[in-house]
Amino acid sequence: MFTVVWALVAEPKAWAQAPDWQAVAGISGPVGNGSQIKAATTDASGNVYMVGTFAGKAGFGSITLTSERNSIFVAKWSPAAGRFLWVQQAQGFLDNEATAITLNGNDIYIAGQFASSTITFGSIVLSSTSVDYTTDGFVAKLTEQGGTARFVWAERIGGTRGQYITAVACVGSSVYVAGHTNGDKAQFGAFTFRNASSDTYTTDAFVAKLTDAGTTASFTWVQYLSGSDFDQADALVTEGNSVYFAVTSSSPTLAIGNKVFSSAGGSDVFVVRLTDTGTTSNVSWTQQLGGTGVDRARALALSGANLYLAGSSSSFQLPFGSSSSSPAGSYDVMVAKLTQAGAPVWIARGGGAGEESAYALAVSGSNVYVAGYLASTTARFGTTSLARTGAHSSMGTELFVARLTDAGATGDFTWARKADGSGSSNYAYAVAVSGANVYVAGQIEAFNTFGSLPVSTGGGTRRGFLALLADATPTTDTKTLLSEVSLYPNPARTSVTMQLPLIPKATPVVFKLLNTVGQVVRTRALTLTNGLRPELHLAGLAAGHYTLLLEADGQWAAHSLIVY
């Protein structure tokens, strides 16, 4: 059984101190029936949506699912109610996995892969074309209505061996997926691509667009990157008609758009921006990052004009000028910031003598959150040291979450927190932010302690978990003028007015309105003087909680705003 503890246990701490674990919940089941949460996101109301896998019997509070082998689940968790509101299942007879999720209003898109000859999504059946029990990729849509969700459509990526989808994003009716394939060919609806290598066990990277027609969907275009070795796309974000993705490649050369890039050694990271023109796409720019060692991209996040990348690296000889640094161990956590034009700004690393990696990334204002695993006896993140203290302190992994502060030209770790695990396989695969709430999800084994919260999975069974930290708003010793700003009306519907304090001089101020996942949805720049009461229009925004960031003279403040 999975012991569930979902109650606030401490007040949030101030900035520069690691917040305590506030609560933890997860998936229960008999000993030997495992589960994991692979991706999570939040909506405007603060609810958490997640996808993952389970085997045998799995309990989501009062909801129980059963499966012969590894099946896929999609679940909605309500922090206010402290329980799962609904869970849906996709099932086949072999191993199946969901790896990605994104939201668009009441629509939920999930993606992953299935090894079963057939897999069912509600009444929808997909059939595999892969051989030797390898996998086909899938992307599926659910619509939430009446307190539950139902599958609307599902599409697959087929081929002769394995197809894997690791990321999904959407803008309006455009749904984008990224991943990799192996075998001699891969098929995306009417599009067929062949591996450039004669070795069918190498992999090719791809980004594909589907057009959601409501009850059906079809592939519109595909960007296919085929080198002679291993190429895979694990990260994807979108804004308007811009599609950003990250590729990890160990091919000696790789053609992206009309350019051919040569490897610096080991494996390199390529961050690529595509422009979606509707029925096709063009490469706008490509930034190559990597040294002579092994570099891996795991996650991307977009906030305003900034693009953030997370993963791992063993070389850190990246083109970040003085920001480049040497890893402490075989692989360290790597977090980097680029502009939307692809220019590198800063890089930060964390780790120890062993192996560490970030799997997930989320941004809220100037706060950058990463989650993953650490295998070093001691790992350092900025001024914070995390020591493995579990029964497997000399082997295995423990999960962590950390926050960096983006100061503009530089960025570094502010705090880091881990869970103490007695098992050997503890991972944080997902991180999501809603206001001050930071959610971490993944997999734990045997007995773990989240701060003062003990959690047992039963024997050596691996189970999915969802944990909460409350990250306090950054504070300073000196109260700034910006912190004295008041908003009215609040809650607001069509517009909000900002009442400013007395300002001694004309001051340029930038206003940014962020949603619960850290996306900038409104921005305005003004030169403020006494008596000016700027107004920010809210028309077109979904109801929910937002954060208004004000930046001036190197200072900033955050104010909560509710739109109804």
Alpha-carbon distance of 236 to 307, in angstroms, equals 11
C-alpha distances in Å from residue 103, one per residue of 44, 47, 390, 429: 10, 11, 37, 18
Q: Output the pLDDT for position 446.
A: 80
| CATH architecture of the domain covering 481-563 | Sandwich (2.60)
Beta bridge partners of 420: 449
- Is 416 in contact with 428 (CB distance < 8 Å)? no
Helix (H, G, I), strand (E, B) or coil at 484: helix
What confidence tier does 472 reach under pLDDT thresholds 50, 70, 90? Answer: low
Q: Which of 56-70, 140-154, 262-276, 539-553 has the lowest mean pLDDT?
A: 539-553
Task: Please state whether 133 falls in left (phi above 0), alpha (psi between -120 and 50) or beta.
Answer: left
Cβ atoms of 127 and 60 closer than 8 Å: no
- Cross-strand pairs, 57: 66
Enumerate the domain spans of the chain: 481-563
> Which of 16-20, 142-146, 236-240 comes out lowest in average pLDDT?
16-20
Higher per-residue pLDDT: 406 or 480: 406
Residue partners of 153: CB distance under 8 A and separation at least 6: 124, 140, 141, 212, 215, 216, 217
Q: Which two tokens stand for residue 411?
A: 């960025």
Tell me which of 474 and 55 has the higher pLDDT.
Answer: 55
Mean pLDDT of all residues in 490-497: 88
Q: What is the spatial distance between Cα 296 and Cα 314, in angstroms, rounded to a whole number?
A: 9
**Two tokens at 67?**
């499966």
Q: Is the dihedral of CA 439, 444, 450, 454 positive or negative?
A: positive
Helices (H) and strands (E) in the chain, counts: 0, 46
**Are the C-beta atoms of residues 346 and 409 closer than 8 Å to each other?**
yes
What does the pLDDT average to over 510-535?
Answer: 72
Exposed/middle/buried for residue 257 (C-beta within 10 Å: 0-12, 13-18, 19+): middle
| Long-range contacts of 528-534, Cβ-Cβ distance < 8 Å, separation of 24 or more | 528/500, 528/503, 528/552, 529/503, 530/502, 530/503, 532/500, 533/497, 533/498, 533/499, 533/500, 534/497, 534/498, 534/500
Residue from 558, 563, 564, 562 nearest 512 by CA: 558
Helices in 217-329 by DSSP H: which ranges? none
What angle is formed at CA 514 by the lines to CA 474 and CA 501, rounded to 5 degrees?
60
Report which DSSP code applies to 28. B
Phi and psi torsions of 322, nearest 5°: -70, -10
Q: What is the pLDDT of residues 106-135, one digit of tens each?
A: 999 999 999 988 999 999 999 987 766 789
Alpha helices in 18-72 (DSSP H): none
Percent above pLDDT 70 for the chain: 86
> Does the pLDDT at position 238 exceed 90?
yes
Q: What percent of the chain has pLDDT over 90?
A: 56
Rounded Cα distance between 504 and 421, Å, is 54
On whether the CB atoms of residues 157 and 208 are closer than 8 A, the answer is yes
User: What is the C-alpha to C-alpha distance for residues 410 and 323, in angstroms, rounded to an integer?
Assistant: 8
In terms of DSSP bridges, do strands 63-78 and 48-60 run parallel, antiparallel, or are they unpaired? antiparallel
Phi, psi dihedrals of residue 484, rounded to the nearest 5°: -90, 5
Q: Kindly report whether the peptide bond that precedes residue 491 is cis, defined as omega within 30 degrees of 0.
A: yes
Pairwise CA distance, residues 32 & 408, whole Å: 48
Angle at Cα 555 formed by Cα 348 and Cα 488, nearest 5°?
120
Question: Which DSSP state fits 471?
Answer: P
Q: How far apart are CA 236 and CA 166, in angstroms?
A: 9
Which of the four pLDDT bands, split at 50, 70 and 90, describes residue 426?
very high
Phi first, then psi, for residue 496 (nearest 5°) are -135, 140
b/e code 50-83 from CB counts within 10 Å (16+ = b): bbbbbbbebbbbebebebebbbbbbbbbebeeee
Per the listing, tokens 């609806």 go with 189
352-364 per-position pLDDT tens digit = 988 999 999 999 9
Structure confidence at residue 390 as a pLDDT band (50, 70, 90):
low
DSSP label of 324: -
The whole-chain average pLDDT of the chain stands at 86
Residue 435: half-sphere exposure toward Cβ, Cα within 13 Å: 19
